[in-house]
Amino acid sequence: MLLLLFLAAPSRAAEPLRLEEGCRIAADASVQLPAALPRLDRCEGRAPKDHIGTIWVDYPRMPTDLTVAKTWRLVLDNHVSSAVDVWLIGSKGPAQHYRYDPNAPDREWAAGNYLSMLVSPERPISRIVVRLADARSHTYVRAPKIARARYFVPIERDQASLYGIGVGMLALTILFHLSLFVAMRRRFQLYYCAHVGLLLIYGLSYSGIIHILWPSLTAAQNSALLGFSMTAATATGIGFVIEFLGNSTPVWLRRWAAGGAFASIAAAVVGVIVPESWSYALYMGANVIALHAILLTAGIVLRACAVRVPMASAIALAWAAPMTVSLMYPARTFGLIGDGALLDGLMMFAATIECLILSLPVASRIRNLRIEHERAHERHVMLERQAQTDALTGLANRRGFGEALARAAAGHGEPMPIALLVIDIDHFKRVNDQHGHATGDAILRHVAAHVARVAGAGAIVARHGGEEFVVALRNHDLMRAGTIAERIRVSMGVTFDTEPALPSVTVSIGVAAGFSDEVETILADADCALYRAKNEGRNKVMLADGPLMYAAAA
């Protein structure tokens, strides 16, 4: 919102004046001003777009009278050049010469990726001539601007504020979505962060802020960063769209998109390493590749909107501005629009708007994914609980009993005393046969509830199979566990007094004790004790390897 307010607010400073190019010629490096002026007057030997070398540019008409003895700031398009020479030429007197080194670490620069220098006319000026050494003609597209130095201060302040806000928003967007990636880990988040990261590099390079972070960066390196970031951004843009829209995009279109993204990355890398002699061919090729990538991405998004893919319309809205501006660059390269059609900072503005709008569907998708993740986790927990629970009695089953014991042992840190009770309903098969399975199931539920109640809150109670139950008592010795077992046995019959529809049953119990690291042995001992109790007449509690502890009255 701050960016929009800045853009909407009128500048408090006068706009700088643009110089209108009269002629551009190519010349040998040895040509000096006296020999270049007649050629510029006749516009002899115009520099073609693919020229690499010394370029002379004439600005024969001044947009205003340059006040003599006042300081003016002249800003030039930042392009590949080893040296810049500027002559202020009047009708009388010698020309004033200024030299600018675009690769000097301490050079001046202006917001908007301009080279900047101060000039002070000593006499009335009628024309300005610029010589660019080792320059690429096709990269020199923006007209120079000139304004009184004292007027330029508020202009640069406003521009620096705008670019600073844009760069800050891009940086915050990356941090926000990287933090979300740590939680959600979706591939489209990485593509999106990479896309915004490349736009951030473009913003830093275009605004000149990168010179604060990297003072030794040359003009040529800055131009390479601009070209690399914008070309590679088309690849990450395609990758993001494909991943974000998911399987709604046909396989053939996904493959086409992958090829387009690869071409963009290749063009971005090659643009940094190719020799200068190939620069114009690569420049044209990169524009073709970028045009293909932009149109392809637009086609994928529009198709998704047509088939009503969720949030595709939000992506289309977010990318309407940057795609339109991006199409203007190849259109300018191919001569379809003029150089002045692309306003300074237009791409920076479009990229910032894109990130602001696009963050909404991305955040919405992440929110939906988080909700789906939480629901999936809840379903998983429920299924795990069901897998560990006996459906009839509500107690833990054999698997749940084992995992509960393992958790208890792990939380204790070292082997802990533990006692196991193995409980079996006496003559349960006979009861089932006489009264039916429905009654048998009711008896199982009744016995399960009674055992869990008497064993206490700290006990682990499970149905071990059929009519057999097992109880784990932590920090209990054999005698104490035997007492609880007897309490379960004795009180069992009383509980059926309140259930007249159910036949009363008795239970036999085997008890064993030891430590948590020998559960299998303890369980086997308790099982043996149970069989001894059953063999000796049932309705008894038997301690492992010991005598009959308690028995019912005959």
- Residues 536, 539, 542, 548: what is their CA dihedral angle, to the nearest 10 degrees? -60
Catalytic annotation, pick one of 21, 243, 378, 467: 467
What b/e readout covers 90-116, taking b as 16+ CB neighbours within 10 angstroms? Answer: beeeebbebebebbeeebebbbbbbbb
Q: 508 - beta bridge partners?
A: 424
Beta bridge partners of 507: 425
Alpha-carbon distance of 239 to 28, in angstroms, equals 46
Q: In what order do the strands lie in the sheet with 114-119?
A: 17-18, 145-148, 72-77, 114-119, 109-110
Tokens encoding 341: 């059609």
Does 486 participate in catalysis according to the annotation?
no
Are 405 and 458 in contact by the 8 Å Cβ rule? The answer is: no
Report residue 74 as tokens: 């002249």
Continuous H helices in 208-218? 210-213
Contact in structure between 442 and 476 (CB atoms under 8 Å)? no
Q: State the Cα torsion 318-321-323-329 to the nearest 10°.
A: -160
Taking the C-alpha atoms of residue 123 and residue 321, their distance in angstroms, rounded to an integer, is 46
Report residue 32 as tokens: 């000096």
Q: What span, in angstroms and rounded, lies between the C-alpha atoms of 182 and 189?
A: 10
List, in order, residues 6 or more apart from 104 with CB less than 8 Å away: none
Token pair belonging to 103: 């690769």
Distance CA 73, CA 118 (A): 5
CA–CA distances in Å: residue 29 to residues 50, 287, 517: 17, 30, 89
472 backbone dihedrals φ, ψ, rounded to 5°:
-110, 125
Which of 486, 504, 501, 401 lies closest to 447, judged by CA? 504
Structure tokens given for 309: 């893919």
User: Which residues have a catalytic role annotated?
Assistant: 467
